[in-house]
Amino acid sequence: MSEQLKVPTMAQYMAEGKQPEILFWVGSAGSYDDRAKKITKAFVKILNKANVDFAVLGTEESCTGDVAKRAGNEFLFQMQAVMNIEVLNGYEVKRIVTACPHSYNTLKNEYPQLGGKYQVQHHTEFIDELMKAGRLKIEGASKLNGKQITFHDPCYLGRANDVYEAPRTLLKSLGVELVEMKRNRNSALCCGAGGAQMFKEPEKGDKDINVLRTEDALETSPNIIATGCPYCNTMMTDGVKAKEKEDSIQVLDIAELIANSQE
């Protein structure tokens, strides 16, 4: 990315005595994983472009604890949650946007009982809102025009929280041809990473879940597999490689598709 990204932190806002419109929760994958960092930057690019007053916690952010909770370590989860809530409440955060459905689900549904009550949005919901409010426009003929794209629903966005349409609305606004997989929306197949599977070898079986899901996607003969989750992205990218299709099919986050269409 050529131009310099503006990424203010909450501490900077605090020092100036201001409150940003939203807090961008980057998440661990978005902060450290090389592939996910590109998604993070793409989303920041969109925020910059739409002149959204946002901030990140930076080094004050810590893992939401989602993966610990799903692994059964409620203790570690709650420790993480309570620490994060202390920071978030200290900054009087009201509104959080994140590009990770796992963070989204945990912040939205599992933090309130521990004292963290925020309005939480997935980045596709927020971008959709920006477009509807006219704050962000898809300029000129998108270079994605006519490309065949299939959308893989992340479990923690779709089934877990019933968000199915925001990502699809965005894809359609790019002028692409959206082709649905046989299993989509609430019957979408998992990419295989949830429930702490991302961090361990799968149990013995006859196939990897991400390969099965990639086969679902390949049936739609897509140019691009779009998704809205850093874990799904990794799993689908690996699946495409396993099928030796990495030269013809890209796996991209919706934020990347939108950010790139602006270039």
Partner 1 sequence: MNYIPNILFALLLIAGFGYFAKNVRKLIRNIKLGQDVDVSDNKSQRWKNMTRIALGQGKMVKRPIAGFLHIVVYIGFVIINIELLEIVIDGLTGSWRIFSYYQELYGVLIGTFEILAVLVLVSVIVFWIRRNIIKINRFWKNEMTSWPKNDANYILYFEMVLMSLFLIMNATDIHFQLMNSGNVVSQFIAPWFSGLPETTIHVIERTAWWLHIIGILIFLNYLYFSKHLHILLAFPNTYYGKVQPKGQLNNLEAVTNEVKMMMDPNVDPFAAPAEGAENVMPAKFGASDVQDLSWVQLLNAYTCTECGRCTSECPANLTGKKLSPRKIMMDTRDRLEEVGKNIDANNGEFKDDGKQLLGDYISTEELWACTTCNACVEACPVSIDPLSIIIEMRRYLVMEQSAAPVELNNMMTNIENNGAPWPYNQMDRLNWKDE
Binding stretches for partner 1 (CB under 8 A): 5, 7, 9, 26, 28, 30-33, 37, 40-41, 44, 56, 58-59, 61-63, 65, 67-76, 78-80, 82, 105, 108-110, 113-114, 155-156, 159-162, 186-187, 189-190, 192-209, 212-213
Amino acid at residue number 229: C
**3-class secondary-structure state, position 134:** coil
Tokens of 236: 């689908």
- Cβ at position 150, least distance to partner 1 in Å: 18
- Cβ at position 191, least distance to partner 1 in Å: 8
Within 8 A by CB and 6+ apart from 206, the residues are none
Of 144 and 213, CB closest to partner 1: 213
- Cβ at position 157, least distance to partner 1 in Å: 9
Alpha helices in the chain (DSSP H): 10-15, 27-32, 34-49, 66-70, 74-90, 101-105, 123-132, 165-173, 209-218, 230-242, 254-261
The gap between the terminal CA atoms of the chain, to the nearest Å, is 10
Of 175 and 195, CB closest to partner 1: 195
Of 43 and 126, CB closest to partner 1: 43
Of 75 and 141, CB closest to partner 1: 75
Length of the chain (residues): 263
Of 28 and 220, CB closest to partner 1: 28
- Please work out, in degrees rounded to the nearest 5, the angle formed at the alpha carbon of residue 135 by the alpha carbons of 25 and 132: 90
226-255: burial string, b at 16+ Cβ within 10 Å, e else? bbbbbbbbbbbbbbbeeeebeeebbbbbbb
- Cβ at position 184, least distance to partner 1 in Å: 13
Of 177 and 215, CB closest to partner 1: 215
- Cβ at position 97, least distance to partner 1 in Å: 17
